[in-house]
Structure formats: C-alpha cells, structure tokens
Structure 1
C-alpha cells in the first residue's frame, strides 16, 4: 500500500511539473503550430523551380546563335552564384518552421545541421528581387534559430520565437515570391528563344530531303510547348504554397497573447 501511494505521489508531482513548466504539447496553440510545421514540404516546389532556373543556359544553348550564346553564358555565371543564395532562403524558412514544430513538442526535427548550413548568410541581388532588406532578415533569423536550437520545448519559448522572427520570416517569404516571378520571366524568355527558333527554321526544312529532320523538330516543338505549359502550372502551384504558408503564419501570430510588458527597474 505504501509503495502504491509513493508511486502515485511521484506521478502526480511529475504531472504538476509538466503543467507548471509550460509543456508545449498540451494546448490548442501548440497543436496549430505543429500543423503549420507540417506544411514545410510545400517549400519543395520553390526549391525545384530554383534548380530549374539554375540550368536555364543548358536548355537554351542549342538554340542560340554565337552572339546570344556569349551573352547568355555570362548571365549563366551570375545565375549559378545567385541560385546558391536563392536556395538558402528556402533553407531558412524550412528551419524556422521546424524549429517551431520542435518547440511545440514534435521531436522529429533536428535543426543543428540546418542552422549550420545557414552560416555565412546570403548576398543581395537587387536586379533579381533579393535586396538588402532580405539579406538582413536572413541574418536576423539565423541568429534567432541558433538560440532556439538549445531552447526547451515550452510554450513561452515558442511564443518568443514567433514574435521575434515574424518580421524576418515575412521578408523572406516576400523575397521567395519575388524570385518565383523572376523564374516565370526567365521561362517566358527561354520559351521565346526555343520555340521562336523552331518556328522560324522548321518551315525552311525541305519536306523531301529533310523529312527526318522535320519529324524530329516537330516532336521537339510539341514537347517544348508541353514543358513550358507544365512549368506555368508548377509556378502557379509554388506561389500558392508560399501564400498558404504566409497565411497560416499570420494566423498563428494573430492567436498570440499580448506580450508581457517590460518590468520597470526600481
């Protein structure tokens, strides 16, 4: 009987400690945060389109004349460097979403490697839609996430990260939307180059002597039209995914209780 009472007392004490410590897994707010963190895979569509943009020159090159090739080759060198920063935006938002999930009690997220990958920051590419505001936002978010790695999974820590990181995260989501528009413009330019060349040259191929060439070019033309159509659908979906993440993030912020007023010093 004594052993049972002692065990029951220990369980009761442990439960009280959890409640007093602000356990992050026991409130509607933390459940909503875990649902938000589960949206992280939707960022993959942005990553895929960034990688497609990275290899624009390789797709265009067979359809370029010598003058256009020299210009596009120069743009390709800059594009490769820029894309290294563009993909970091996704890594930053992904790490933030998973940090929230961890603070909300979801133990599947290990953030140390992701936060290390954000070290070194990013560069501004103003002509592409990534400016100093976004660079500073990324740096600020990196510092916040570095501190959150060792923070306990408590509701207070969760609310602190939500409040502190909100402006930076909004800046990064805006930058990603800017870049998706850049990818769209780039794809439209590529489409004009590729289909323009095929539509210009194909009618001049001799129907008798170049039957195979005409047939292959016709198939390629059809495939390219389908490719650009699919890109348009993927681009729309990626923008919708980012919009959904931004809306759900704002909903979390709207549910936050008022921040405690700073205590006055005596």
Structure 2
C-alpha cells in the first residue's frame, strides 16, 4: 500500500487523538473552573462590609446624647474605610473570574470589570490593613489589567496561578483581617445595644411600665437572635476565605500536575465546602 493510501487513516487517527486530548483537557480543568467560580462568589463578604459601614445607623437610636458626637466621628471613619475594604474583594473576585475563564472553553470580555476595581486601598492601623496589603493590591490590579487588556494571550491556568498566587494570598489575608475587624465592631455594637436593655429593664418596675417592659424584652430577644446569626456568619466568612486560600495554595503547589486525580479530588472537596458555606451565609438577619 502506498503512502498516499495511508493518509486517510493517519488523518483519522490524528483527529481522534486531538479530540481525545481536548476532552481530557476539558475534564481536567473542570475542578479548577468550579473552584474559581465558587471562590468568586464572595457576596457574604460584601454584605458584611456594608453592615460594617452602616453600624452607626443601627446604633443611633440607642446611643445616649453624650455618645452622639463620638458615634458620628466613628461613622465618618467607617465610611472612609468602606471603599478600601470593597476594593480588596473586587480584585480577588476579578482574579477568580479570570482564572475561571482561562480554565473554560468560552471567551468573554472582562474589560469593563477593570473600571470597577476602585482607587486602591490604604494602610490603616485600626483595621489591620498593612502596607503589604496595599502593595499586593497594586500588583494584582496591574496583572489583571495586563492579562485582560491583552486578550489573555500567552496566558494559561498555570501561568495565572503562578504569577497571581503571592498577591492573591496577601489580599485574602487582608480580607480575613478585615472580616475579623468587622466581627469585633459587631461585638461592640451588640454590647452597646443589648447593654442598654440590661441596664434599663431592671429599673422599670412601675405598674404602668409593664407593657413597655414587655415590648422591650421582645425587642431584646429579637436583637439577640440577630446577633447570634451574625456571629455565625462572621465565622463562616472566615472559613470561606480560608478555603479559598488553601485551594489556591494547592494549585500553586501542583502546577505541574493540575490534571492529577488527587489535586482534582481536593479541589472538588473545597468546592463542596464553599457551597455549604455560601448556604450558611445566606441566612439574613433582620
């Protein structure tokens, strides 16, 4: 048989190998894509940031006149910090969205997301943001701008993970720091509001105060339940951010073996954990 007669069979074999290779690649990136998609859904963090920003609006009704001035000053500081806090989250989300895109077959434009990143973050002793977090934010946004503006040319999952891991881990550390700061602020709010009832109710002993005391106790119970839910949400937010950090660390440690069964299995477990955490974070206090 001549070489010419071998060409159809050889062509068919090449096509089969190419299709088989593509199918393997698609399967191998599925867990990476799922992990990136779940990691990008950090809505619980944004909601906790908004709650932090609006602390004074909730406290105002309960503050005595002597504490009003301090409350207003603190409110101004919180609102100034809020945009910095959200910027860190937006950078992490856009990174994960980009990683998911690289791990998938579809190609869509994330350029408009770059304009929404914000003006950066600033170090702040009170919140725990440090200069390393500022530097990481700058590095992350520059990398994302470069990657997205170039149309992802020359980028793969491996290069994205390798180049982004250090800044991503530092930004996740910033988000963990801020989440714990939010929890501390919420604890102070809880003590302020519930403390008023603890002090005032025992002194309302007149018969004509009975209805007022009853309403106050009901309100107290409702607020106590609200803070109990929130305490859990802060714990879950910390768990979620930690899972994202550990999952990406696993990617970085296995750059040459991301198609490996063990890595894929570990990522799949992180995806399941993140889904459970998101469900817990969806509990909405009044």
* TM over 0.5, shorter chain: yes
Unaligned runs of 5+ in 1: 259-266
Change (3 A) 1:109 1:24: farther
Q: Does 1:44 align with 2:47?
A: no
Superposed displacement of residue 145, structure 1: 0.7
Does structure 2 conserve the Cα–Cα contact (< 8 Å) formed by 1:115 and 1:146? yes
| 2: CA distance, partners of 1:109 / 1:82 | 32
1:1-266 residue pairs with structure 2 within 5 A?
Answer: 26=25, 30-40=29-39, 42-107=41-106, 110-149=109-148, 150-152=150-152, 157-257=156-256
Superposed displacement of residue 158, structure 1: 2.3
Q: Secondary structure at the match of 2:208?
A: coil
1:53-112 superposed Cα distances (whole Å, 9 cap, x missing partner): 111111111111122111011010110111111111111111001101111125376422
Superposed displacement of residue 180, structure 1: 1.0
1:101-136 superposed Cα distances (whole Å, 9 cap, x missing partner): 111125376422222211522222222011211111
Q: TM-score, length-normalised on structure 2?
A: 0.78
Q: Stretches of 4+ moved more than 4 A in 1?
A: 8-19
Change (3 A) 1:251 1:82: same
* Residues matched between the structures, number: 249
Change (3 A) 1:70 1:45: same
Does structure 1 conserve the Cα–Cα contact (< 8 Å) formed by 2:41 and 2:93? no
Superposed displacement of residue 48, structure 1: 1.3
Change (3 A) 1:106 1:128: farther
| 2: CA distance, partners of 1:62 / 1:18 | 66
Q: Which stretch shifts more, 119-128 or 162-171? A: 119-128
Unaligned runs of 5+ in 2: 1-6, 258-286
Q: TM-score, length-normalised on structure 1?
A: 0.83
Aligned residues: CA RMSD: 2.9
Q: Secondary structure at the match of 1:228?
A: helix
| 2: CA distance, partners of 1:213 / 1:83 | 37
Q: Secondary structure at the match of 2:120?
A: coil
| 2: CA distance, partners of 1:186 / 1:24 | 50
